[in-house]
């Protein structure tokens, strides 16, 4: 069930250039199940910045009643959030949206998780849950540069992890698709989150494979009422059918919506 | 006596607080959070004759103390609303105000005629002020003669009272208000959003795919207050006020300016429970201010002025 709660900041760490890892504690964690879901955060009670910030869930720890979020401090809201400290309260609405389905795969099958930049975080909880089911996980993570890379050790603990950077400062110079090609990675199901050009390239290359992508879009309400974050359904000649990224997504089957 | 009970043309409201059109869909999403029967009324998402997908994304951009939107009147069309949305809303004990939009006179007339027959639609809100569609919309809301003509034609076919939603994007708001009052409007709702733009300094391009959008949120409240203050002194029909309401004090300010009820828009996105919270807090505020009934204070700001 979606709820609002003032959660307590347990820790906040700068883990890469402008990238923060925020861990929150509260009862709301009980509601969090699916990897790929997100929360909508109100950074303060003032009128500016006004709107909530959608941030994906990176890790759920039911035993500790904590949830970890990884975000980039970019605009007014996330920069303010980055200034908050352990013990501070932050208003969280969630969990929102539909996450990555993990029931398709069983023990011994191979999942390829492909993340780009700030699209990497939700893949961490996904990888944890797949691993718990005995699924073999392979990660291909793309970053702009080594300074902006994060969580490589954490992913490496769960499965084979390849890195691509645009400037070549870490791993393969180039894009995630170059790595997949180079390493001749085969898999049963693809899961991806990251910039649109990356998602488009993956959809094109693996058109016949099963896979899921998570989309990002500027949002208003986060619950499907304001229609700010819609996208067209693929192969719809009327161009009138739509899906809402916030409440129908953010995860869609590859090929389901126009990206 | 319920200090919040309000009687307006077509509307018997248990309280003067309702979600504003476009900020609440058709209520389904918010019904996860509370019983919609507690609302004074619901202003549902604008309905056009044909279904509309709306504009490309991005459709929203944040601004200081506000936001820009350019959704583009996305809606399932008249038949979709009559078949799926209004019957679903019948489970709640709440009057519906149907927002009617179009790109030509015939569209408005056809939608008004049909939607006003729905049993739970108790009033129409004529949307002559949407800034985000290419044709119609705002043109109807900026030229008094065009607004007068449209209001008259809609009044002729509507089975329920008609409120006209005024655009703030005009030089003389009083002239617009008087034009639609002359044409038979039963009430006014004001204000719609203010036309604005934001440019992404990294790309040098407007953020919104539609380039321009409608500004809402606390940033526009003083504009709405000023316009309601001016208009309420010049017309004899009630005004439902909206624009940036977040706190119970804002509601009092709107009533003092001359509003007889209020609508909550953007604040729903920040706090989905904002309407129930305000409905709970308003009687406490009235008691604190020693006001017996909310209707006592309509227009107090200008009624108390020494001329």
* CATH number, position A24: 2.40.30.10
For residues B166 and B148, what is the distance between their CA atoms, to the nearest angstrom?
Answer: 12
Q: Which of B67, B48, B104 is nearest to B194 (CA)?
A: B67
If one counts the domains in chain A, the total is 3
pLDDT band of B136, cuts 50, 70, 90: low
For residues B262 and B286, what is the distance between their CA atoms, to the nearest angstrom?
Answer: 15
Do residues A44 and A116 share a domain?
A: no
Bridge pairing between strands A210-214 and A230-232: unpaired
Domain boundary among A96, A118, A139: A96
Reading the block at residue B97, the tokens are 């105000």
Do residues A81 and A16 share a domain?
A: yes
pLDDT tens-digit profile of A91-117?
Answer: 999 999 999 999 989 999 999 999 999
Do residues A168 and A228 share a domain?
A: no
3-state SS assignment for residue B99: strand
pLDDT tens-digit profile of B98-134?
Answer: 999 998 899 999 999 999 999 999 999 999 976 666 5
Kindly report the pTM of this predicted structure: 0.94
For residue B53, the chain A residue with the least C-alpha distance is A240
Q: Is residue B173 part of a domain?
A: yes
**B306 has a pLDDT exceeding 70:** no
Q: Which of A69, A98, A100, A96 is nearest to A193 (CA)?
A: A100
Do residues A86 and A118 share a domain?
A: no
Do residues A151 and A221 share a domain?
A: no
SS in 3 state form for A48-69?
CCCCCEEEEEEEEECCCCEEEE
Reading the block at residue A88, the tokens are 């501070």
B25 contacts A226? CB cut-off 8 A: yes
pLDDT tens-digit profile of A65-88?
Answer: 999 999 999 888 999 999 999 999
Spatial CB neighbours of B70, under 8 Å, sequence gap ≥ 6: B55, B59, B60, B131, B132, B208, B209, B210, B211, B212, B213, B214
A239 contacts B57? CB cut-off 8 A: no
pLDDT band of B1, cuts 50, 70, 90: confident
Q: Specify whether the CB–CB gap between B43 and A211 falls below 8 A.
A: no
Q: Between A and B, how many CB-CB pairs are < 8 A? A: 103
Q: How far is CA B243 from the centre of its chain?
A: 9
Q: With an 8 Å Cβ cutoff, is A226 touching chain B?
A: yes
Phi, psi of B156 (to 5 degrees): -60, -30
Degrees to nearest 5, angle at CA B126 with B52 and B138 = 70
Do residues A137 and A181 share a domain?
A: yes
Rounded to the nearest angstrom, the minimum Cα separation between B267 and chain A is: 9
B115-118 long-range contacts, CB within 8 A, separation 24+: B115/B47, B115/B78, B115/B81, B115/B82, B115/B86, B116/B157, B116/B158, B116/B159, B116/B160, B117/B159, B118/B82, B118/B86
Q: What is the CATH number of the domain that holds A181?
A: 3.40.50.80
- The range of the structural domain enclosing residue B283 comes to 6-303
Q: Whose structure tokens read 């290359």? A: A205
User: Which whole number is the average pLDDT over A117-132?
Assistant: 97
If one counts the domains in chain B, the total is 1
For residue B304, the model assigns a pLDDT of 79
Do residues A160 and A226 share a domain?
A: no
Sheet with B66-69: list strands edge to edge.
Answer: B60-63, B66-69, B213-216, B194-196
**B139 has a pLDDT exceeding 80:** no
User: Which whole number is the average pLDDT over A133-150?
Assistant: 97
B275 is catalytic: no
Bridge pairing between strands A136-143 and A38-42: unpaired
Do residues A80 and A125 share a domain?
A: no
Tell me, what's the ipTM?
A: 0.93
- The range of the structural domain enclosing residue A256 comes to 215-259
Q: Is residue B1 part of a domain?
A: no
Do residues A105 and A208 share a domain?
A: yes
Q: Is residue B13 part of a domain?
A: yes
Reading the block at residue B285, the tokens are 């505020």
B62 contacts A76? CB cut-off 8 A: yes
Spatial CB neighbours of B148, under 8 Å, sequence gap ≥ 6: B179, B180, B182, B183
Q: What is the CATH number of the domain that holds B199?
A: 3.20.20.70
């Amino acid at each position: 069930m979606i709820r609002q709660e003032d959660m307590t900041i347990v820790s906040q760490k700068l883990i890469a250039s402008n990238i923060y890892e925020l861990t929150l504690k509260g009862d709301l964690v009980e509601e969090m199940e699916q990897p790929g879901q997100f929360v909508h955060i109100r950074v303060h009670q003032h009128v500016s910045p006004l709107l909530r910030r959608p941030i994906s869930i990176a890790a759920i720890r039911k035993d500790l009643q904590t949830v970890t979020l990884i975000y980039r401090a970019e605009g007014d809201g996330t920069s303010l959030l980055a200034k908050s400290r352990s013990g501070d309260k932050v208003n969280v609405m969630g969990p929102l949206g539909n996450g990555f389905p993990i029931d398709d795969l069983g023990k011994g099958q191979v999942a390829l998780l492909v993340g780009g930049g700030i699209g990497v975080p939700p893949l961490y909880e996904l990888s944890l849950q797949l691993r718990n089911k005995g699924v073999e996980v392979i990660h291909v993570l793309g970053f702009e540069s080594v300074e902006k890379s994060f969580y490589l050790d954490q992913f490496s603990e769960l499965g084979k992890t390849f890195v691509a950077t645009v400037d070549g400062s870490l791993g393969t110079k180039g894009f995630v698709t170059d790595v997949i090609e180079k390493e001749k990675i085969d898999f049963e199901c693809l899961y991806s989150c990251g910039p649109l050009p990356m998602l488009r390239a993956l959809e094109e290359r693996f058109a016949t494979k099963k896979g899921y992508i998570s989309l990002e879009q500027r949002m208003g309400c986060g619950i499907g009422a304001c229609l700010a974050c819609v996208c067209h359904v693929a192969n719809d000649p009327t161009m009138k059918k739509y899906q809402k990224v916030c409440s129908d997504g953010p995860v869609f089957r590859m090929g389901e919506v126009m990206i | 006596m319920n200090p919040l009970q309000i009687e307006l043309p077509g509307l018997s409201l248990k309280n003067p607080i309702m979600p504003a059109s476009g900020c609440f869909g058709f209520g389904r999403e918010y019904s996860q959070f509370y019983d919609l029967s507690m609302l004074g009324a619901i202003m549902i998402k604008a309905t056009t004759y044909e279904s509309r997908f709306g504009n490309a994304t991005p459709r929203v951009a944040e601004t200081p103390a506000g936001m820009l939107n350019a959704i583009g009147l996305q809606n399932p069309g008249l038949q979709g609303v009559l078949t799926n949305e209004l019957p679903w809303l019948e489970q709640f004990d709440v009057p519906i105000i149907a927002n009617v939009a179009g790109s030509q006179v015939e569209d408005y007339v056809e939608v008004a005629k049909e939607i006003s027959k729905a049993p739970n639609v108790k009033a129409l809100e004529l949307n002559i002020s949407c800034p985000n569609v290419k044709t119609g919309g705002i043109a109807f809301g900026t030229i008094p003669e065009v607004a007068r003509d449209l209001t008259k034609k809609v009044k002729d076919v509507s089975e329920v009272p008609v409120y006209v939603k005024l655009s703030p994007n005009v030089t003389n708001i009083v002239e617009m208000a008087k034009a639609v009052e002359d044409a038979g409007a039963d009430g006014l709702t004001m204000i719609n959003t203010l036309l604005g733009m934001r440019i992404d300094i990294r790309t040098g391009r407007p953020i919104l795919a539609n380039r321009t959008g409608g500004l809402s949120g606390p940033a526009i409240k003083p504009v709405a207050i000023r316009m309601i203050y001016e208009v309420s002194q010049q017309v004899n029909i009630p005004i439902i006020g909206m624009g940036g309401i977040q706190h119970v004090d804002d509601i009092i300010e709107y009533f003092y300016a001359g509003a007889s009820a209020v609508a909550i828009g953007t604040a729903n996105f920040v706090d989905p429970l904002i309407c129930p919270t305000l409905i709970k807090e308003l009687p406490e505020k009235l008691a604190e201010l020693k006001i017996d009934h909310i209707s006592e204070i309509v227009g107090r700001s200008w009624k108390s002025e020494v001329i």
